[in-house]
Amino acid sequence: MKKYAIYIGILTIGLLLGWAIFGNSTNKEAEHNHNETVKSDQMWTCSMHPQIMQPEPGDCPICGMDLIPAESGSDGLMADQFKLTENAMALANIQTTVVGKGNVEGNTIKLSGKIAENEEANAVQVSYFSGRIEKLNVSFTGEKINKGQLLATIYSPELYAAQQELITAANLKETQPKLYEAVKNKLKIWKLNEKQISQIETSGKVIENFPVYATVSGTVSEKLVEQGDYIKQGQPLLKIANLNTVWANFDVYENQIDLFKKGQEVLVTTNAYANKEFKGKVDFIEPILNTKTRTVTLRVVLNNKNDVFKPGMFVTANIERVSRSNDEVLTIPASAVLWTGERSVVYLKTNPDQTVFEMREVVLGNQIGNEYEVLEGLFVGNEIVTNGTFTVDAAAQLQGKKSMMNKQGGKTMTGHEGHLGMDNNLKNESDHTYMNERLKVSGKFQEQLKEVYYDYINLKDALVKEDSKGSSKNATTLLSNLGKIDMKLLKDEAHNHWMSLIDEIKSSTTSIAGSQDIKTQRNHFKHLSSHLIKAVQIFGVKEKVYVEFCPMADNNNGAYWLSKEEQILNPYFGDAMLKCGEVKQTIE
């Protein structure tokens, strides 16, 4: 029994020693394995490209920046809220502003318009007798002429016969004064003056090719005849425009009409003279509303004695607002607003102590300077993003929250996964990734829009190559083809959509065409792209189009552009960061 007791004691001591030695090691190993598991769960992301997720630290494959630890967990956020890291906020230069009421009296409203001839100063040079034009002294349209200048010589059988009658009647004026006066009056009706009539009487000779003199001074805006043409009495020969004054015509939308009155002072600017302002006054506000565009024409008369303005030139007006009342209105900076079709959205910072955001739809009123009136959606004291809005929107999309392009929330697909086919037959009701509904329009309109899109692609390629002259040239071509688009091909909703886009497209393109500075061109290209993207989404151009995005463009605010291919060729940086960007959408 003693021997068994000794064996049992030795076994017990052995078990205790084994537990002490190996049990602790096992716990350490388990703890080590647990730590490795926790460590392996840590993901790393890029502050500028949050779609990048890697299991270990390193460099961002897009921009080469160091990856940072990705946050995990919702931190008790609401369904539509999302959070950005402090590092991402700083790198993207995201800034916010607290919304407050401000008195808008004294602020200005911007309008876009076009220079036109002053119709009140225009004239038509006509022939007061029939005949054949023996010689036309006006060589080309645009030629300047002065009152009394010889314009043409005309052979007129009627006038030839009338001169012979005058010579005969002059010899009988003592005996038949009434006949003589009747013949003279006939010639006066044909605009012969006393000097010419006296010359015919005195010389007793008939003038075969009779001269036609200018009755007004101005610029020939149109030649209506050529040398050798037969003309009738009263037939127009030339259209003459007096460009000492011109009209600047601006479109005013229905909800803006009561903001203007006749006699208001206007400051007009044009890209042709970027650093100059020209004063004028509101001369006329059209009393009839254009039911297709929902606008009226506001006219400003401008002094043009120095020949600064050319008919057809795009201009911008800064007009001091006539306050509707003494009430204050809620305004926000234009940089805070993102537009998608008829929706306007801003990003609200929901907690002043945390970098938590959510999308908020707003209803906007008039643009006042660089701000917009807010009619619905915000209150005094709300804090909104005013710089870096595109970056915040991109973060919302990637986290599956409500965003400009994702009205209902849920994971947004990108690249090959997210094809924004706008055809209603292909649209899945559960897929909310589309921005603008495709509208049915005529194939002819789509072909015309495609020409504009091709010009845009050429412009984009020039910016990639940092060719400012090529960018300006392609922008000029784009403007030309934009003017050829027949708006009569659009009806109702489609027409209204196009009218809401065309002025912005024209304005941005004009700015690019009028500049030789690549930085300025790229800044306006950003605005051109945002509006042309909407146009392509809404109307289509009969081919696949890629919408691409660079979060580092526009001082890290992010910017989009259109491309014919998936390959990223960045127009905002060129060779400096040629491959920076990604495909955000594919428009079928």
Do 161 and 171 fall into the same domain? Answer: yes
The pLDDT of residue 116 is: 92
What are the φ and ψ backbone dihedral angles of 554, each rounded to 5 degrees?
Answer: 55, 50
Do 58 and 184 fall into the same domain? Answer: no
Which parts of the chain have pLDDT scores under 50? 26, 29-30, 33-39, 73-74, 103-106, 325-326, 411-434
Do the Cβ atoms of 582 and 398 come closer than 8 Å?
no
Q: How far apart are CA 263 and CA 280, in angstroms?
A: 9
Do 285 and 235 fall into the same domain? Answer: no
The pLDDT of residue 103 is: 46
Q: Given 189, 216, 241, which residue is the final one in a domain?
A: 241
For the chain, how many structural domains are there in total? 5
Nearest in space to 340 (alpha carbons), one of 135, 115, 530: 530
Residue 368 forms part of a structural domain: no
CATH code, domain carrying 148: 2.40.50.100
Residue-wise pLDDT for 388-413, tens only, equals 888 888 888 777 788 877 666 654 33
Do 164 and 292 fall into the same domain? Answer: no
The pLDDT of residue 372 is: 82
Residue 390 forms part of a structural domain: no
Do the Cβ atoms of 266 and 318 come closer than 8 Å?
yes
The pLDDT of residue 20 is: 56
Do 263 and 182 fall into the same domain? Answer: no
Do 252 and 193 fall into the same domain? Answer: no
Q: How far apart are CA 286 and CA 327, in angstroms?
A: 28
Residue 99 forms part of a structural domain: no
The CA distances from residue 109 to 256, 393, 574, in Å, are 10, 28, 36
Q: Given 179, 212, 241, which residue is the final one in a domain?
A: 241
Do 311 and 162 fall into the same domain? Answer: no
CB atoms < 10 A from the CB of 225, how many? Answer: 17
Nearest in space to 587 (alpha carbons), one of 392, 388, 446, 486: 446
Residue 455 forms part of a structural domain: yes
450: its two tokens: 């495609």
**pTM of the full structure:** 0.42
Do the Cβ atoms of 301 and 283 come closer than 8 Å?
yes
Do the Cβ atoms of 151 and 218 come closer than 8 Å?
no
The pLDDT of residue 39 is: 45
The pLDDT of residue 425 is: 30
**Three-state DSSP state, 555:** helix
Residue 92 forms part of a structural domain: no
Residue 388 forms part of a structural domain: no
The pLDDT of residue 30 is: 47
Do 292 and 222 fall into the same domain? Answer: no
Residue 155 forms part of a structural domain: yes
**Cβ burial, residue 196 (10 Å; 0-12/13-18/19+):** middle
Q: How far apart are CA 62 and CA 49, in angstroms?
A: 8
Q: Given 257, 292, 320, which residue is the final one in a domain?
A: 320
Residue 348 forms part of a structural domain: no
The pLDDT of residue 48 is: 64
Do 198 and 252 fall into the same domain? Answer: no
Do 131 and 236 fall into the same domain? Answer: yes
Do 487 and 520 fall into the same domain? Answer: yes
Do 501 and 474 fall into the same domain? Answer: yes
Q: Which domain holds residue 522?
A: 443-587
- For residues 552, 554, 560 and 561, what is the CA-based torsion angle, rounded to 10 degrees? -110
The pLDDT of residue 454 is: 93
